[in-house]
Amino acid sequence: MSHPSFAPPGDAAHATPTVLIGAGGHAAALIEVIRAAGLLHPVGCLDQSATAPVLGVPVIGDEARLEALRHEGVAAVVVCIGHNATRLRWIGRARALGYALPVVAHPAAILSPSARLGAGSVVLPRAVLGARALAGEGTILNTGTIVEHDCELGHGVHVAPGAVLGGGVRVGDGALIGIGAALRPLVRVGREAVVGTGAAVVEDVADGATVGGVPARPLARE
Ligand SMILES: CC(C)(COP(=O)(O)OP(=O)(O)OC[C@H]1O[C@@H](n2cnc3c(N)ncnc32)[C@H](O)[C@@H]1OP(=O)(O)O)[C@@H](O)C(=O)NCCC(=O)NCCS
């Protein structure tokens, strides 16, 4: 396939032309991961509100351009959106348009050879994914997370910086595990649940629940 509009320069000549969806802080973090990994060439970001370049990557329009870019030689999409359900929706849309959805992992992350990560997942520096761990599509393993052996994460899960999941923890689709949370081995966190920053989860968390504290308890939310 030729790449007429987005031929990357110099050392990036063999990298895959890639468009990023989103132009916020998560995009900045992922641009640095992409550059460190070296296999993709970020040609631009799509965003409906931001216009400023992100670490030198221009904003080239809003998400409505996604379909046209597929016909202009752009081959892959990295969805840079922290909101779990929104990220999964864009992954589905990009797949329907025929884009590749590569797993993007920083070279300073440690991924067990027996672990598996679904399409469109991202792994930031110093994250560790242990033996036989499984994670679905659109997973974010953020900076310094530890997901221990035999964990099973559904689709669209975000494990925020510094969170630690003990062995065999199961996390349902769309759940957020907050910054610095610690999860006891074998606990189950339900779909779309939120584990608050710094929580110590020692028992199962129900679908859609928000928990926080040490030990973690349901939090009343407005
Ligand atoms: C748990 C959380 C979702 C609650 O957010 P919220 O619904 O906006 O709640 P509020 O900030 O209004 O706080 C509501 C109450 O819960 C308490 N609370 C909030 N977060 C808490 C936490 N992590 N642990 C314990 N208590 C918490 C507040 O102190 C407040 O208590 P009060 O009613 O006695 O004053 C949020 O604080 C959180 O931890 N989100 C995770 C963020 C994260 O890690 N993101 C990843 C970014 S990379």
Residue-wise pLDDT for 10-67, tens only, equals 445 579 999 999 999 999 999 999 999 999 999 999 999 999 999 999 999 999 999 9
Residue type, 187: V
Question: How many angstroms separate the Cα of 107 from the Cα of each of 36, 68, 112, 169, 194?
Answer: 7, 32, 13, 25, 29
Q: What is the pLDDT of residue 10?
A: 42
Q: What is the pLDDT of residue 14?
A: 73
Domain 10-102: assigned CATH number: 3.40.50.20
Mutate to test the pocket of ligand 1, among 197, 201, 211, 222 (most ligand atoms within 8 A of CB): 197
What are the helix (H) ranges across the chain?
25-37, 66-70, 84-96
Fold of the 103-206 domain = UDP N-Acetylglucosamine Acyltransferase; domain 1 (2.160.10)
46 token code pair: 């799509």
210 token code pair: 């928000």
Nearest atom within ligand 1 for CA of residue 219: 16
Residue 171: phi and psi, rounded to 5, are: -130, 125
d(CA 7, CA 2): 9
Q: Write the pLDDT tens digit of every residue in 83-102.
A: 999 999 999 999 999 999 99
Query: Which residues lie closer than 8 Å to 42 by C-beta, 6 or more apart?
Result: 18, 19, 20, 31, 34, 35, 57, 78
Domains 10-102 and 103-206 share a fold: no
> Do 5 and 75 meet the contact criterion of CB atoms below 8 Å apart?
no
Where are the chain's structural domains? 10-102, 103-206
Mean pLDDT in the chain? 94
- CA dihedral (24, 25, 29, 30) positive or negative: negative
Residues lining ligand 1, CB < 6 A? 142, 160-161, 178-179, 194, 196-199, 210, 212-213, 219, 221
